[in-house]
Amino acid sequence: MEKLINLKINGVQVSVPEGSTILQAAKLANVRIPTLCYLKDVQCVGSCRLCLVEATGARGLVAACVYPVSEGMEVRTNTPRVRKSRKTTIELILSTHKKKCLSCVRSMNCELQKLALEYNAEEDRFGTDHDLKPIDDLSASVVRDNSKCIMCTRCVAACEKQTIGAIGPKNRGYAKVIGSPYDVSLAFTPCVNCGQCVVACPVGALYEKSAVADVWGAIVDPDKQVVFYTAPSVRATLGEAFGLPAGTNVEGKMVTAIKQLGDVKCFNMDITADLTIMEEANELLDRLNTGKPTPMFTSCCPGWVKFAEHYYPEILPNISTCKSPQEMFSALLKTYYCEKNGIDPKNLYVVSVIPCTAKKFEITHEELGGYTDAALTTRELAKMIKEAGIDFANLADGEFDAPFGTASGAGAIFGATGGVMEAALRTAAMKLGGKGAPLEFKEVRGTAGVKEAEYTVGKTTVKVAVASGLGNARKVLEDIKSGEKNYTFVEIMACPGGCINGGGQPYVHDEVRNNIDLKAVRAQALYDYDKDSKLRCSHDTPAVEVLYKEFFGTPNSHKAHELLHTSYAKREKY
């Protein structure tokens, strides 16, 4: 039986499991303790000193995020001594911080700014003692501004959790900075552009390379026809940028808002999620029938693909040759859509709205054809909506434009870890087992880092694995290489939880991330959407049927391979 420890926090009696920290106990007592360096499931080092509290039996103030509770302990979190310590710490941080708050990407949504206001910190109490450092903007996805870095090291921990280590601390003491090996740009490291460092950063030291100005320019260009298409997970997260609860499905408001940005069309990327399944499921069946390399790995996530190209080039023949849904959609628009509507592809400006900073890197790949003109993160779309003065929360629901509007629920769940696998299994099961095949494969759902399952459909048995987060991906790959595990099909997403937790999703303060399972809440919105959908399988989507009838012929046809498939190449680690 688990032993409980009894203590008081600000006079409130609580009982917590042995080994709990004061911070964990405070949560049960409904007492808020501020943090900056602590981030649940990412880092717990007690270095920022903002969570200091007074506790009986302790000498001096202690860091609540790491200090263990003891029987009979009494904790005070808001004494004059504690408040003075926190205020001084914030003021010291501000003394070395580039305070360009009005023009910062995190203005009004900055954890340091919020704490400074709460503790009445004087921004210049200790003067301004920092050198403006050069901004690293050579990466296709992520910009680093070290002049705003507060040395919380949350970005470093996030990168290490991904087992990449593209950034880390350098030097010691006052000279300590966060940088890349040999002081090179992120562009020249094995960074996979996942953006987990960006969503971990509490200030504006890391952010995506913005395409907002380019998209505004295209919208007002009389020679351009602009089309947007939105990724599956964006409907479940965009509302957070406008104060709506996490997990609110805002698809209709999102479409309306995009159409109010200018004379643009808005399509549903779930269509090419469905198209991906048609190509990928048939590719898997072909591999099983012809003895080609297995397991087959999914290829939807550019962060995962770049990871494989850097660290596991030997498994590149096992990765599905399907392009990501983003690149499939852009290829369709610049070919099929332009042909059907008599548009010169040069005049069609294609904008994807994606949850992922790695997608910005992906559109620079020459082998993908250069069909996507701009990739906007969920945050960037929110910025454009706010800049346009649109009252998002009170918008009426709109509908995606034809012919790429109606898709299946299988395409929608692509945004959650396990969603690509489940969508593929639905179609493969129908092909192998007929109409009695199952529609839901709940064993591959959930936010666990690695999930395994075995299914027998018809006469075929498939062993599958799902991994999210590159640390978990590395474990799965090593198990496969050692022969310990043997799978038929493997789904990997670079970001923990999948696209719903992508590096381009809305900024969320640590107080929310530390207390709510965002990955589960956001994913549930997609599963609810799928459950309520009239179409549950990718092969039932009308637009997909039309595309094969009018354009591609059959899945994995020669034309499909020309536009919907790609190849991979080894990248140097350094």
Query: Quick one: 306 exposed, middle or buried, by C-beta within 10 A (0-12, 13-18, 19+)?
Result: buried
**pLDDT score, position 286:** 87
What does the alpha-carbon distance between residue 194 and residue 358 come to, in Å, rounded to a whole number? 5
Q: What is the DSSP letter of 30?
A: T
Report DSSP letters for 178-225, one per residue: EE-GGG--GGGS------HHHHH-SSSSEEEPP-HHHHHHHHT-TT-E
Does 57 have pLDDT greater than 80?
yes
Contacts of 15 (CB under 8 A, 6+ apart): 4, 5, 6
Residue 337 is which amino acid?
A: Y
Does 459 have pLDDT greater than 90?
no
**pLDDT score, position 434:** 66
Residue range 62-82, pLDDT digits in tens: 999 999 999 999 999 999 999
Report DSSP letters for 316-379, one per residue: GGGB--BPPHHHHHHHHIIIIIHHHHT--GGGEEEEEEES-SHHHHHTT-GGGTS---EEEEHH
Q: Which of 302, 360, 373 is nearest to 139 (CA)?
A: 360
Give pTM, 2 decimals.
Answer: 0.95
Q: What is the CATH number of domain 91-208?
A: 3.30.70.20
Q: Is 272 left (phi over 0), alpha (psi -120 to 50) or beta?
A: alpha
Q: Per the structure block, which two tokens stand in for 225?
A: 């026809």
The architecture that CATH gives domain 227-574 is: 3-Layer(aba) Sandwich (3.40)
Is residue 334 within 8 Å of 371, Cβ to Cβ?
yes
Q: Which of 560, 231, 283 is nearest to 412 (CA)?
A: 231
Does 129 have pLDDT greater than 70?
no
Long-range contacts made by residues 334-343, C-beta under 8 angstroms, separation at least 24?
334/369, 334/371, 335/563, 336/547, 336/550, 336/551, 337/227, 343/225
Which residues on neighbouring strands pair with residue 452, listed in sequence order?
Answer: 465
Of 83 and 174, the one with more pLDDT: 83
Q: Per the structure block, which two tokens stand in for 271?
A: 């269509």
Does 437 have pLDDT greater than 80?
no
SS3 (DSSP) at 475: helix
Is residue 544 within 8 Å of 274, Cβ to Cβ?
yes
Given pLDDT bands bounded at 50, 70 and 90, which one contains residue 95? very high
Does 51 have pLDDT greater than 70?
yes
What does the alpha-carbon distance between residue 253 and residue 557 come to, in Å, rounded to a whole number? 37
Residue range 383-422, pLDDT digits in tens: 999 999 999 999 999 999 999 999 999 999 999 999 999 9
- E strand or H helix at 296, and its extent? strand 296-297
Beta strands 168-170 and 74-76, pairing class = unpaired
Give backbone dihedrals phi and psi of 467, rounded to 5 degrees, phi first: -130, 135
Given pLDDT bands bounded at 50, 70 and 90, which one contains residue 433? low
Does 130 have pLDDT greater than 70?
no
**Domain ranges within the chain, ordered by starting residue:** 4-78, 91-208, 227-574
**Catalytically annotated residues:** 280, 283, 300, 320, 359, 362, 367, 499
- Which of 30-39, 174-183, 316-325 shows the lowest mean pLDDT across its residues? 174-183
String of b and e for 24-48 (b: at least 16 CB within 10 Å)? bbbbebebebbbbbbbbebbbebbb
Residue range 463-501, pLDDT digits in tens: 999 999 999 999 999 999 999 999 999 999 999 999 999
**pLDDT score, position 287:** 87
Averaged pLDDT for residues 172-191: 91
3-state secondary structure 60-105: CCEECCCCECCCCCEEECCCHHHHHHHHHHHHHHHHCCCCCHHHCC
Does 435 have pLDDT greater than 90?
no
CB atoms within 10 A of CB 476: 22
**pLDDT score, position 430:** 80
- Which of 3-12, 437-446, 461-470 shows the lowest mean pLDDT across its residues? 437-446
Give backbone dihedrals phi and psi of 454, rounded to 5 degrees, phi first: -135, 130
Q: What is the CATH number of domain 4-78?
A: 3.10.20.740
- E strand or H helix at 564, and its extent? helix 558-564
Averaged pLDDT for residues 18-22: 96
SS3 (DSSP) at 429: helix
Q: What is the mean pLDDT of the chain?
A: 94
